[in-house]
Structure 1
Amino acid sequence: MENIKTVSDFNFKNKIALVRVDFNVPVNNQSFQIIDDTRILYSLPTIQKIISDSGKVVLISHFGRPKGKCSKIYSLRFIISYLSKKLKIPIKFSEYCIGEAVEKKISELKNGEVLLLENIRFYKEEEEGNEYFAFQLSKLGDIYVNDAFGVSHRPHASITIVPKFFREKKCIGFLMKKEIQSLKKVLGKGIAPITILLGGAKISSKIAIIENLINLVDYLLIGGAMSYPFIKAQGGQVGDSLVDEYKNLKVLQKIIEQYQKQKKTKVFFPKDVIIADSFKNSAKTKIVSIHSIPNGWMGLDIGPASIKHFCKIINSSRTILWNGPLGVFEFKNFSSGTTSIAKSIVIATENGAFSLVGGGDSIAALKMKKYETKISCLSTGGGAMLESLKNKMLPGIKAIIS
């Protein structure tokens, strides 16, 4: 953080701030009502700082995956009224992101006004990281601000190329600052015991994370569907449980051997699981050892012994990071593991632990129980958070300090 400038290092009076935000929020497909406004809310302090300085704000964001084509269903227009209500000022809108039309609108902006640009991914050049497209975007502002942690792991034009054209006049926003500081509290500077809980299904995206965390944290708890390939690698029977496409069991065996040799990190998998004879809430169920799931059955949640074990570790921890559910929590009959873990993290937080939760499913599970305000920090970027856990500097952050 020492080398990264933030919006606090600039006075934006009479300046145009080109602010990359992440307004890619879940919405109701019919009414376009925002279901979860966390990402927008967390970016408001940055926008308000610029406005209070008597600066002008030009907002860049993406929404969905329009794949370089204009589409009404991916338009950012639905955010205008919401943003206007939150900031208590009218929000101007441009249907273009580059060119004379948007440049004219920006030239007419007054201090304290905000202009929202249309979905940046309507231009294929954004995801291609096109240099000339980035140059055209850079002409729209005097100071560049990245407050889009959720996409800062993407090598996109507005994230990694645009900052090059601003030399020293670039910085991060308050959301980005909070995300970076929160991750630092977990990795290396956290108060021990440090516990990281990884769930979900995709093990392939978390192999490098697991390798990096060994010998760095006190407890690594692995649950959800990503535990089954490890159990299989150890010779266990996982039946018809979901096993990610990651087929290289030798790599998993190597990781298991690695954590068995070192002394710092204790790695635990579920002891028991709730299995079902089909993938539905009304399926027939029973509780078995995770190593002995019969054919024709699949693990859909961690069992009571596993819940008790994991929660005991969480309750004794002073620093906690959670990414990924422990089961198919969308089905009520298989939500117990995930909701129990969520509650345990809330209790630990209330007792003074620092907690960081990231990933759409994990945050959705918190919100189901209205726990989201009882966690120290909610991360706005699942993928970006996972990349950071690999001990990698995100491209979006590197572009600010280089």
Structure 2
Amino acid sequence: MAKRSLRSLAVQSRRVLVRADFNVPLDVRGRITDDFRIRATLPTIRWLMEHGARVVLISHLGRPKDREPELSLAPVRSRLEDLLGMPLRLLPDCVGPDIEAAVKRLTAGEVVLLENLRYHPGEGAETRDQEPDFADRLAALGDAYVNDAFGACHRADTSIVELPRRLPAAMGLLLEREIRAMEAILTAPKRPLVVVLGGGKVEDKIGVVLHLLPIADRVLIGGGAAFTFLKAIGYEIGRSRLDPKQLEACREALARSPEKIVLPTDVLVAPDVASPAGSRVVPVDRMPPDWVGVDIGPETTRRFIEILRGAATVAWNGPMGIFEVREFAQGTKAIARVLRERSGQDATVVVGGGDTVAAVQQFGFAEGMDHLSTGGGAMLEYLEGKELPGIAALPEAEG
């Protein structure tokens, strides 16, 4: 059933706790290198401001072991100020009497950001018993709750699953868009449906492959994930990434639907990932034993593009190679280019995963994509058919 929407929540003059996903990458100087997740939450923040809510933003950042200052949300506050065009306070904690008093003083349309939730052990699902009153203390700050953190919905953290049990709750505009995009893939997709999977970890992708095989028309596998599949067939893969624990699952997937799974027929290899000058293209059955696969080859790229040009729905998670190195980025760039073109025509294209979205942005193809997902693991688990704790915790839509 559909979940309750932000639009049906009474927010005028009420303190609304907004669980955002501001877990953004930072450089060594603590500067944000990609504000995609922050910008994605702006429609929800602005909607609440326009409807007179007293907005209290909460999020985690990284995995602090204590209160490391480098994991403060101060850089997020600065970026939000720029994006919203208004001053915004960062309170020094996320619970406690002083924080409650500051939140109570908020006026309609005002926004405040609380400090990193993970500074408290009570936020984590595994460490919740160390601070059992954390959920109640957090809930005391709000009159209502909005979840707009799709990227964290696959985790059963306190702010994700306990707050909806204590406050009137709804999904934010971003979470609503994310669910709609995922359902467009899983429920009666326009055909043909093509799934493109890459990246390094087969263990993150194999569940998606097995779940989507009955649904998808084609599953294209590139990146580091392809090499475990190629090894499962019996090919030499040199020093390319291999997950031996997933070999049997790869064989199972290939046995189930050999006509649907499309693997590389050629790859770009290099003596070392740090040696792009010595790279060359080889067929997958002639890979040098001591070399490493770094990208799909031109023949594979052409084959993937041909399939994608005929697709009506595409889900892509995981780059085709080590796109951060210019010489190893051609496969990923070509896929991003054709999917941007298809987005502007009659296809529905959903792109997710931090590295994949970063690649699309790096190549200048983000503008015009139908949907760039803020979820990496959350997107994969949704497409795997798993129930995400953060979505399950929200109330059903009325009527």
Structure 1 position 189, deviation (Å): 2.5
Shift of 1:283: 4.2
2:23 is aligned to: 24
Q: Where does 1:166-205 land on structure 2 (aligned, <5 Å)?
A: 166=167, 169-205=168-204
Of residues 81, 84, 94, the one that matches 1:84 is 81
The aligned residue for residue 345 of structure 2 is: 351
Give me the whole-angstrom Cα distance separating, in 2, the residues matched to 1:118 and 1:76: 6
SS of residue in 2 equivalent to 1:291 = helix
Contact 1:277 1:283 in 2 (8 A): no
1:110 to 101, 107, 112: 107
Between the aligned partners of 2:335 and 2:102, the Cα distance in structure 1 is 50
Mean Cα displacement is larger for which, 215-224 or 277-286? 277-286
The aligned residue for residue 228 of structure 1 is 227
Q: After superposition, where does 1:3-402 map in structure 2 within 5 Å? A: 3-30=2-29, 32-67=30-65, 69-127=66-124, 128-130=127-129, 131-166=132-167, 169-244=168-243, 246-260=244-258, 266-401=260-395
Gaps of 5+ in 1: none
SS at match of 2:28: coil
Q: Secondary structure at the match of 1:373?
A: coil
The Cα shift of 1:86 comes to 2.3
Q: Which amino acid aligns with 1:89?
A: M
Distance in 1 separating the partners of 2:381 and 2:128: 19
Give the Cα separation in 2 of the matches to 1:248 and 1:354. 31
Which runs of no fewer than 5 residues in structure 2 stay unpaired? none
Secondary structure of the corresponding residue to residue 78 of structure 1: helix
CA offsets 1:145-172 (integer angstroms, 9 cap, x no match): 0001111101111001121112xx1001
* Alpha-carbon separation, structure 2, partners of 1:370 and 1:223: 21
Q: Which amino acid in 1 is paired with 2:52? A: S
- Kept in 2, the 8 Å contact 1:239–1:293? The answer is yes
Specify whether residues 298 and 88 from structure 1 end up closer, same or farther in structure 2 by C-alpha distance, changes over 3 A only.
closer
Shift of 1:97: 1.0
User: How many residue pairs get matched?
Assistant: 392
CA distance in 2, matches of 1:28, 1:249: 36
Q: Quick one: distance in 2 between partners of 1:29 and 1:41?
A: 22
Deviation at 1:250, TM superposition (A): 2.4
TM-score by length of 2: 0.95
RMSD: 1.5
Residue 22 of structure 1: how far off its partner (Å): 0.7
State the Cα distance separating 1:188 from its structure 2 match.
2.4
Cα drift, residue 248 of structure 1: 4.2
Distance 1:175 1:259 in 2: 35
Cα pair 2:49 2:110 within 8 Å, conserved: yes
Separation (CA, whole Å) in 2 of partners of 1:193 and 1:158: 39
Cα distance in 1 for partners of 2:246, 2:116 equals: 39
Question: SS in structure 2 opposite 1:19?
Answer: strand
SS at match of 1:224: coil
